[in-house]
């Protein structure tokens, strides 16, 4: 089902007239992610936080009030201190995590007066999840001493995107933009055996302000 949605999105995008007037824009703002679950003593605690975010978009007229396009939603890293216990070792480390989300997006927009346009957005795509860990490790069997520990988790998961835009026309081609997005990543931060993978929420809220340019 997920593959069908992605393929369908690409087919619609390819059907859009490349010569149609397009809108390109970007926004800078904040990303908020709550702490995820933990599985003591395997991995604890969960962590979350806020970071600077940036969002880039391109939209093409589709039909009536609809536009279709693509978005890239990026953010800086959030950090947390965690401990992990495996069958052979005990690890303590700082985790640095970021999610980069890429979506095909359909929007329904309506004018509000002569200068303002509001739109609701929904889409689907994928998210690159990357977590780096740096700290120490020690065997749980004596004798043991702590040694440097480094690890990286990286995977690409399916993601839904929902949100809204408000544009205020400044000129015929330039508009101020306020934007908000909610990303739902479909991995639930779990490994195949049900153990928490990172301790970071799979729900992300991002919002910001910027500008769009009509070509």
Q: Please tell me the chain's helix, strand, coil percentages from 3-state DSSP, rounded to the nearest 5.
A: 5, 65, 25
Task: State pLDDT tens for residues 54-79.
Answer: 999 999 999 889 999 999 999 999 99
pTM: 0.86
Task: State pLDDT tens for residues 169-205.
Answer: 999 999 999 999 999 999 888 888 888 999 999 999 9
pLDDT at position 134 over 80: yes
CA atoms within 13 A on the CB side of 47: 20
Task: State pLDDT tens for residues 17-45.
Answer: 555 679 999 999 999 999 999 988 899 99
Q: Where are the domains of the chain?
A: 2-16+26-214
pLDDT at 19: 55
Question: What is the rounded CA–CA span in Å between residue 97 and residue 120?
Answer: 29
CATH match of 2-16+26-214 with 2.40.160.20: yes
């Amino acid at each position: 089902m997920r593959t069908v949605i992605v393929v369908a999105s690409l087919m619609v995008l390819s059907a859009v007239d490349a010569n149609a007037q397009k809108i390109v824009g970007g926004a800078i703002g904040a990303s908020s992610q709550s702490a995820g679950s933990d599985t003591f003593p395997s991995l604890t605690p969960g962590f979350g936080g806020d970071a600077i975010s940036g969002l880039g978009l391109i939209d093409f007229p589709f039909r009536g009030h609809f536009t279709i396009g693509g978005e890239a939603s990026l953010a800086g890293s959030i950090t947390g201190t965690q401990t992990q216990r495996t069958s052979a070792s005990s690890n303590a480390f700082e985790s640095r995590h970021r999610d980069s989300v890429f979506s095909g997006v359909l929007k329904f927009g309506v004018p509000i007066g002569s200068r303002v346009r509001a739109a609701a957005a929904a889409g689907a795509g994928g998210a690159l999840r990357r977590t780096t860990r740096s700290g120490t490790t020690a065997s749980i069997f004596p004798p043991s001493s702590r040694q440097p520990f480094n690890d990286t988790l990286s995977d690409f998961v399916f993601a839904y995107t929902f949100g809204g835009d408000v544009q205020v026309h400044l000129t015929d081609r330039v508009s101020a933009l306020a934007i908000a997005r909610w990303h739902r990543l479909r991995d639930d931060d779990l490994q195949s055996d049900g153990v928490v993978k990172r301790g970071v929420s799979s729900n992300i809220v991002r919002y910001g302000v910027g500008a769009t340019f009509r070509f």
